[in-house]
Amino acid sequence: MNGKLMVVIPCYNEEEVLGETARRLTLKMKALVDAGLCDPASRVLLVDDGSRDRTWEIITRLHAENPLFEGLKLSRNRGHQNALLAGLMTAKDRCDFSISMDADLQDDMDAMDRFIAEYSAGCDVVYGVRNRRESDTFFKKQTALAFYRLMKGLGVDITFNHADYRLMSRRALAALAQFHEVNLFLRGLAPLVGFQSGYVYYDRSERFAGESKYPFKKMLAFAIDGITSFSVKPLRLITTLGIVIFLISLAMLIYTLVAFLAGRTVMGWSSTIASIWMIGGIQLLSLGVIGEYIGKIYNESKRRPRFIIDRYLNEEGADPTVDA
C-alpha cells in the first residue's frame, strides 16, 4: 500500500462536466484502492475557484453523497494556478502524495496507475507529458511549442507538453510551500523543488463539455507570467539591444557629418524618419518589458495572500490552516 492519495482538481464554472468527472473518479479511485495502489482513506479534493455557476452546489452535493469527495471554496476567483496551489497546500498535511489534474476530463485517468508506479519507485515528482497535441488547433499547437522552446531558450527548466497533470509526494509539497511568490507558474516551480522525478506519457482527449478556461488572451498572459517569473534574460536582451543601437547611432553620426561636409544634407529624410520610428518602437517595447518586471516586484512587495479559503468540506468539518 502506497499511502493516502489526494487528487486535487481546480474547478471554475464546471457544472456541465463535474457530474461525469465525479462518476469516473469514483470508479478510478475504487480501482486504485482495490489494486492496493493507495489507501482506502484516499480522497478527491475539488477546489471551487469562485465559480459563477452551480459548481459549488454540485461539489456540496457530491460531498454529502460520498465521503470520497471533499470541497474547498475560495472566497473569490483567483485563477487556475492559485486555485491549484490552494488545493495542494490543503492536501500537503493530509496525504502521502497528491495528483493534480483538470476537471475537463482531457487528462487520462488511467495514467494515474503509472504515476503511482513511478512514485513507488522513488520519485517525489512525476510529470504527465502529452504524447501529441492532435486535439489542439494548428494555432494553439504551434504557439504552445513556440512557448516551450522560448522558455528553454531563456534558461527555464520546463518539461515540453506538460501542463499541471502531475504527482507530488508529501515532502515535495512541503518544499513547494516554501516558495512564496505571488506570480505563480507551477509548471516552472515544480522542477525547482528538486528531488527525484519521473515522466508518464499519455494521450490527451477532447474536452468532455463546457468551454476552455484558457482563451488566447489568458494564454498570452500566462506565457508572459511564466517568462518574467523565471528569467531575467529579457532585461539582458534590452541591455544588449541598447548597446547595438548606441553603436548604430555612432555610425549614423559619422554618416551625418560626412554628408554635411559633402553638401548632401537634404538626403536621408526617409532613413531619418524610419530610424525615429524604429528607435521609438524599441524604446516603448523595452519600457513595456521593464514595466512587467517592475509590476511583479510591486505585487510581490505587498505580500498579499495568494488565495483565501471560504469553506472546506471534509469529514472532520473543520477549516484547514493553510499557508497562502
Which CATH number goes with the domain that contains 184? 3.90.550.10
- Tell me if 224 is assigned to some domain: no
| Residue 70, strand partner residues | 45
Residues paired with 8 in a beta bridge? 45, 100
Using DSSP bridges, classify how beta strands 69-74 and 43-48 pair: parallel, antiparallel or unpaired: parallel
Looking at the domain assignment, is residue 218 inside a domain?
Answer: no
> How many CB atoms are closer than 10 A to CB 64?
11
Same domain, 241 and 161: no
Residues 282 and 134 in one domain: no
Do both 207 and 168 map to the same domain? yes
Is 124 strand, coil or helix? coil
Q: What's the gap between Cα 173 and its chain centre?
A: 16
Q: What is the pLDDT of residues 239-253, one digit of tens each?
A: 677 777 766 766 766
Name the strand (E) or helix (H) holding 5: strand 5-11
Any domain includes 97: yes
Distance in Å from the first CA to the final CA of the chain: 31
pLDDT of residue 98: 93
Q: 170 lies in a domain?
A: yes
For residues 245 and 197, state if they share a domain. no
Q: Are residues 158 and 269 in the same domain?
A: no
Mean pLDDT in the chain? 78
Q: Are residues 151 and 200 in the same domain?
A: yes
The Cα 28–Cα 237 span in angstroms is 49
pLDDT at residue 268, rounded to an integer? 62
Residues 20 and 122 in one domain: yes
Q: Are residues 177 and 287 in the same domain?
A: no
Q: pLDDT at residue 209 above 90?
A: no
Residue 83: domain span? 5-211+309-313
Confidence band, pLDDT 50/70/90 cuts, at residue 97: very high
Residues 151 and 243 in one domain: no
SS3 label, residue 164 = strand
Question: Residue 222: which residues within 8 A CB-CB, separation 6 or more?
Answer: 185, 214
Give how many domains the chain has, as a whole number.
2
Cα 178 to Cα 228: distance, rounded to the nearest angstrom: 20
Residue 226 lies in a domain: no
CA-based torsion, 294, 295, 298, 301: positive or negative: negative
Other CB atoms within 10 A of residue 92 CB: 23
Beta-strand pair 97-100/162-169 = antiparallel
Asked if residue 217 belongs to a domain, the reply is: no
Residue 139 lies in a domain: yes
CA 289 from chain center: how many Å?
21
pLDDT in tens, 139-172: 666 766 776 677 666 666 677 777 788 999 999 9
**Residue 321 included in any domain:** no
85 plus 206 within the same structural domain: yes
pLDDT digits (tens, 9 = 90+) for 164-208: 889 999 999 999 888 887 777 777 778 888 888 888 888 876 654
- Whether residue 286 is predicted with pLDDT greater than 80 in this model: the reply is no
Ranking 20-24, 103-107, 150-154, 185-189 by mean pLDDT, the lowest is: 150-154
Q: Determine which of 1-5, 142-146, 177-181, 265-269 has the lowest per-residue pLDDT on average.
A: 265-269
Q: Are residues 262 and 168 in the same domain?
A: no
- Quick check: 315 and 257 in contact, CB under 8 A? no
C-alpha 306, offset from chain centre: 14
